[in-house]
Amino acid sequence: MTPTERWWVVGLSMSLFLGARAAVSADDYVAPDGSDAAPGTREKPFATIARAQKAVRELKARHDRKGPIVVELRGGFYELDEPIVFEPADSGTAASPVIYQATPGERPILSGGRKIGGWNVGPDGRWRTTLADVKAGRWAFVQLFVNDQRRFVPRLPKKGYFTAAIFTPRSPSSGTLSCTTAAISSAAAGAPTRKATPRSITTSIGTPTASP
């Protein structure tokens, strides 16, 4: 696995595991490397849960089934373009429940995130990539996961907080309040105050904007 393949942005993920229930022989199979044009067998599985849902509905319509209808998911990542929705038509009965189960010993992960590629390591040892869709405002994210571990957004300053050195009275015409930030104070008791480059911050109706 390359470094590029290890980076994921995750909005929602769900892992499927086998519980105490013993594994039941499956009617349909799904795998990350499958194909929705395949018959859904163990050797030629579907690629998506949506295709398996359709197969389950078709099976229910063809047969008065006595016994469970089982969909088995192979381990790996399933990238979801949209939420998975289960409706009454996907439900089973007491005599014929519908079961989605993981392949024994494997871990399927249904992820609503997007995989990020194109990473490069700079001279300073930091990893960087450019997300064209994010830059253009077409989508955004708030969480980044690397190898199943959340990475936190950097903050400025690294410790403590900015303090407002100068306040300008509220403008009667615009209703805005501005201040100039001239120092950084640490939240730790007794920590020294460091000077910083002044910035003008204007707040209007709760929306902050900043200018150099």
DSSP string, 49-82: HHHHHHHHHHHHHH----S-EEEEEPSEEEE-SS
Q: Supply the pLDDT for residue 145.
A: 86
| The token pair that represents 197 in the structure block | 């480059």
Which stretches of the chain are assigned E, i.e. beta strand? 7-9, 13-15, 28-30, 69-73, 76-79, 98-102, 108-111, 114-115, 120-121, 127-128, 144-146, 149-151, 161-168, 177-185, 194-204, 207-211
Average pLDDT taken over every residue of the chain: 74
CA torsion through residues 124, 127, 132, 134, sign: negative
Q: Supply the pLDDT for residue 203.
A: 44
CA torsion through residues 52, 53, 57, 60, sign: positive
CB 190 within 8 A of CB 162: no
Q: Supply the pLDDT for residue 10.
A: 38
Q: Supply the pLDDT for residue 177.
A: 52
Q: Supply the pLDDT for residue 2.
A: 43
Q: How far apart are CA 62 and CA 45, in angstroms?
A: 21
CB 90 within 8 A of CB 53: yes
Q: Calculate the dihedral angle through the C-alpha atoms of 171, 180, 193, 153, rounding to the nearest 10 degrees.
A: 100
| The token pair that represents 209 in the structure block | 């904007």
Show Cβ contacts of residue 183 under 8 Å, excluding neighbours closer than 6 positions: 162, 163, 165, 193, 194, 195, 196
Strand partners, 72: 29, 101
Q: Supply the pLDDT for residue 18.
A: 39
Give kind and range of the element (H or E) at residue 132: helix 132-135
Tokens 């795998």 sit on residue? 31
pTM for the complete prediction? Answer: 0.58
For the chain, residues with pLDDT lower than 50 are 1-22, 181-212
Q: Supply the pLDDT for residue 73.
A: 96
Closest by CA to 164, choosing from 206, 199, 189, is: 199
